[in-house]
Structure 1
Amino acid sequence: MADLATIANKDPAPRTIWPGPARGPRVLIYSHDTFGLGHLRRSRALANAIVGDHADASVVIISGSPVIGNFEFGSGVDYIRIPGVTKLPDGDYRTLNLNVSLDEAVGLRQALILQTAKAFQPDVFIVDKEPTGFRGEVVPALDYLQAVGCRLVLGIRDVMDEPALLIPEWERKGAREALIRYYDEIWVYGLKDVHQPLQAFDLPEEVSRRITYTGYLRREIPPTPSLTKYPKITKQPFILVTTGGGGDGDDLIDWVISAYEADQTLEQPALILFGPFIDRDTRRAFVERIAKQPKLDVMSFDNKIERLMKKADAIVAMGGYNTFCEALSFDKRTLIVPRTKPRLEQYIRAVEAERLGLVRMLSDHNEPRTPERMAAALKALSSQPRPSEVTIPGLLDGLDRVQERLKALTKSAIQLTPAYHQAAE
C-alpha cells in the first residue's frame, strides 16, 4: 500500500475549469464535526440547496461525524468520512474509534482532506465555523486550493460565543490570521441586526467588506417519508422536546420530565427525542421515568426530524442553530432552554430571538431550575405567538443569498485560465 503522505503530496493533473458540457460547478464543504449534529446538518442543508439549484453541480462533504451515513442527500451530493474525534467533559479531545493518538488521527484527517482537495478540484471550498479546521488540519488544503485559484469561503453561524471566550480561543488557533490570509468571503448565516459574531475582532476594513449576512437557512420537509414509526402520542397535538444530538441535553430532558412528575394538570402531551449521542445509562434512567407518565413518550433518534417538527404543535429545545432555523421555517411556537456551559452561544441567540418576539426563553442562568417554572412555561406555549406574526425582512433568506454568492464566485473562477492553474501547481 502506498504511503498516505506520499499520495497526499503527489502533484495533481492539470485542472480543467468549468463550465461547459463536460463539467458543472464543484463545491467542497469541510465540517469538522467533533461533537453533535449541528455542523453536519448545516452542511447538508447547504449541499442539498446547491444541487437543487444547479442540476449539474457536484458537492462533497468532508465530515468526521459517525452518523453521516444516516442522513439523506440530494442527487449530486456525496461525502467522505474522515476518522472521528470526540470532545470529553473536561474540554479535551480523543479519537472516536481508532486506537491511535490524537496527533496521529489529526495527521490522518489532514492528509485525507488535502488529498480530497487535490483529487476533486473544487471551484469553491466552504469551511464551516473553524477557519483553520480542527487543530489546524485544514490549513494545507487552504494553501493548496488558494494557489490553484479555488474560491475560499468561511461559513459561520449567527452566534459563536461571548467575546471574552471567543477572542482568546481564536488567537490560540491562529483563526483571525487565517481569516485575513485565506478567505475570499465570509458568510454569516444570520442577520446583522440580530448579532454580529465577528464584531469584537476589530478586523481590517478589507476583511469586513468580505462579510455577507445571509439570513437564516430555511429548512424544508425531506422529499421521502421517514421510516421511523412515530408513537401514538403524535396523532394529537403534542410538544416536541429535542436536544439535537443529545450529548449535552440531559438537563433539559430532566427538567421537562420533572415538570410532568410534579404537575398533573399539564394537559398537552410531550414527545421527548433523545438524539444519538445520549449516554446509555442516562437514557435508561429517563426511559424508566417517562414510562410512569401517561402524557410523555420517547423516541431515540429521527434522521428526518423536520417531519416530526412539522407535525408538532410546539417545540421545546436548547436552541442550537439548526433547531432554531427549523422552528422558524415551520412556524412553530418554541420554548428555548439554552445551555450556558461551556459556551453562551445558545443563551445569546435565545436572548436576541426573545427580544424580537420569535421565541420565548426559560433559563437557569440566574434562576433556580424548578419543576414549577418548567410546567408554567409549557402551559404558556399554547398561547404564545408564532414566529410568522413578527415581520423581519430577510429572516429566512439564507439559502437564496448563498446561491447568489456561489454564482458570483464560480463566475469569477471561469476567468482563471488553465495555464494559471498549471503554473500554480
Structure 2
Amino acid sequence: MSLLEVSGVIDVSAPGPTTRIDGPRMEASTAALPRAELRVVLYSHDTMGLGHLRRNQLIAQAITESVTTAKVLLIAGVRQACSLELPPRTDCLTLPGFCKSPAGCYESRSLDLPIEELAAMRSASIRAAVESFDPDLFVVDKAPRGVSGELDDVLAWLRRRGKARTVLGLRDVLDEAVAVRNDWRRGAYAAAVERFYDEIWVYGDPRVYDLAAEYSWDRRLTTKTRYLGYLDQRRRLGDLNGRDSDILANLKQTNGQLVVCSVGGGQDGEGLAQSFLRADLPDFAHAALIAGPFMPPVVRRELESLIAGDPRRQLIDYLSEADALIQRADLLVTMGGYNSVGSALSFGVPTLIVPRTVPRREQLIRAQRLAALNLVDVMDPSQATATAIGEWMAHPPLNRPQASSVIDLTGLDRLTAVVNQLTLASKERVHA
C-alpha cells in the first residue's frame, strides 16, 4: 500500500492516551514544475541538549559537500543553533524552545507558555517556512510528529503537494523496547509514518542494535527502513574555520596525556563533572572539561571554584565544535549521547562512557552494546566516583580494535548516495 492510499488524517485533539488516525481520504495535488537545484529541510525538535541539531548539522554538511546545487534549511528548537558553524548554502530557522523536565515531560523553555500554545506557534512557523522553501527532501529527526503534533499540518501539506520525499531519521537506539512501544502507541507514530513518510533512515548498525527487531516493528515499517551506518564525526572537521582556535591555543599543555571529559549539553552533567575534576590524574596528564551550553551557571561556578589555581585542570565553558578538542584527546570520559559516542568511535580515542539513565535508558543500552564489542568501557553513573574514574585513567584499555573494523561508520556516504539519486531524478524531470 502506498502512502497516498492510506486513508485518514491525524486527530491531535482526540481525547484519551492513544491518538487516533481517522477522517477523510487525502489526495496528492499536482507538484510544481521541477527545478535543477535540490532543496532540503532538516527538522529537529531539540528539547534536550544539542544532539539532534548537531546530527542534522553534520548531515547538512555532507549533503552540501556532495551535491553542489543543494540548499539546506535547518529547523531547530534551540537558539544555540545560531552559534554553530553552518556549511555553505545552509541556514537555520530557530523555533521558540521546548525543554524536557527531569520527569521526561515537555514544557516551555523560555516563554512560559502552555505547551499547546507553544506547539501551535511552532507549527505555524514550520508550515510557513516549508511552504515558502518548497523542499524536495524533508528529513525529521527522531520525532515522527514533532513535539505535541507540531508537524502534523506540514506533513499533510507535503503529502498533498506530492513533491517532497519525506524521511524519518533515527539514531541507533531510541530507548528500551517497552518504553518505545508505549511512546509509539500513545503518539500514533506508526500510523503517521505509514501515511506521511517514504523512508526511515537509521543512523546505526543492526549488528550493534537492530532497531526494527528490538521494537517489534511490523512490515509496514520495516519495508521503509534502511540502516545507513553510524555517521563518521571526523567529517565535521572539514567545516571548521577556526572559531574555537583561541580557546584551543590557550589550552594548558603538558608533556603527558590530555584527558577530556564531555557532559553533552551540560544540563545534567554535574555529577560526572564533579567526579572527573576530583579524580587523580596520571603523572603529567592534564584534564579538560567541556561544560556545555546548558550547564546551570551556579554549577559552573562551583566547578571553577573546585579547580581554582590548579594548573593541570581546566574548565571550558563551551566549544562551538567539541570534536576539535576530542580529536586531540588521549583519553575521553563522556556521557553516552549519540554524537559524543560517535566522536569517540570515529577518532579512535580510548573511552569511558558514563551514560545518562533517566528519563531514557538509550545511552546505557548504546554503551553496553558497544562495550560488548570491546569498543568502549562503560561505568554506571552510580559507581562513577572520583576514585573509580581515576582508576580507569590510570589503567586505560590497550589494543582495542578500530571501530571501523567492527561496525559500520559509513552512514554519511550512504546518505549522500541516496540524496544524489534524488538529485539525478530531479534533473531528469527538469530535462524531460
Q: TM-score range by the shorter chain?
A: 0.7 to 0.9
2:219 matched residue in structure 1: 205
Pairs aligned (count): 396
1:233 equivalent in alignment to 2:246: no
Structure 2: state its 5+ residue gaps. 1-28
1:177 matched residue in structure 2: 191
* Distance across 2 between alignment mates of 1:336 and 1:369: 10
1:45 equivalent in alignment to 2:43: no
* Distance across 2 between alignment mates of 1:319 and 1:99: 30
Change (3 A) 1:386 1:400: same
- 1:353-375 superposed Cα distances (whole Å, 9 cap, x missing partner): 1111211112246xx44332221
2:304 matched residue in structure 1: 287
What secondary structure does 2:395 align onto?
helix
What secondary structure does 2:292 align onto?
coil
- 1:279-317 superposed Cα distances (whole Å, 9 cap, x missing partner): 111111111112264432111000021211112112110
Choose the corresponding residue for 2:210, options 167, 174, 196. Answer: 196
Kept in 2: contact 1:266–1:375 (CA 8 A): no
Choose the corresponding residue for 2:174, options 160, 174, 187. Answer: 160
Choose the corresponding residue for 1:345, options 362, 366, 369. Answer: 362
1:379 equivalent in alignment to 2:394: yes
What secondary structure does 2:211 align onto?
coil
TM-score (norm 1): 0.87
Amino acid at match of 1:229: I
What secondary structure does 1:353 align onto?
helix
Amino acid at match of 1:85: F
Amino acid at match of 2:322: I
Structure 1: state its 5+ residue gaps. 1-11, 419-425
* Distance across 2 between alignment mates of 1:191 and 1:314: 25
Kept in 1: contact 2:103–2:359 (CA 8 A): no
Shift of 1:138: 0.7
What secondary structure does 1:229 align onto?
helix
Shift of 1:248: 1.4
Choose the corresponding residue for 2:268, options 245, 248, 271. Answer: 248
2:315 matched residue in structure 1: 298
2:116 matched residue in structure 1: 103
Kept in 1: contact 2:336–2:355 (CA 8 A): yes
Shift of 1:267: 4.8
Kept in 1: contact 2:354–2:384 (CA 8 A): no
Give me the CA root mean square deviation.
2.3
| Percent identity over paired residues | 33
* Distance across 2 between alignment mates of 1:85 and 1:389: 35
Change (3 A) 1:248 1:266: farther
Kept in 2: contact 1:161–1:343 (CA 8 A): yes
* Distance across 2 between alignment mates of 1:286 and 1:28: 39
- 1:59-115 superposed Cα distances (whole Å, 9 cap, x missing partner): 001011120011111111111111112222233333223253322111010011111
TM-score (norm 2): 0.86
Change (3 A) 1:229 1:265: closer
Kept in 2: contact 1:228–1:302 (CA 8 A): no
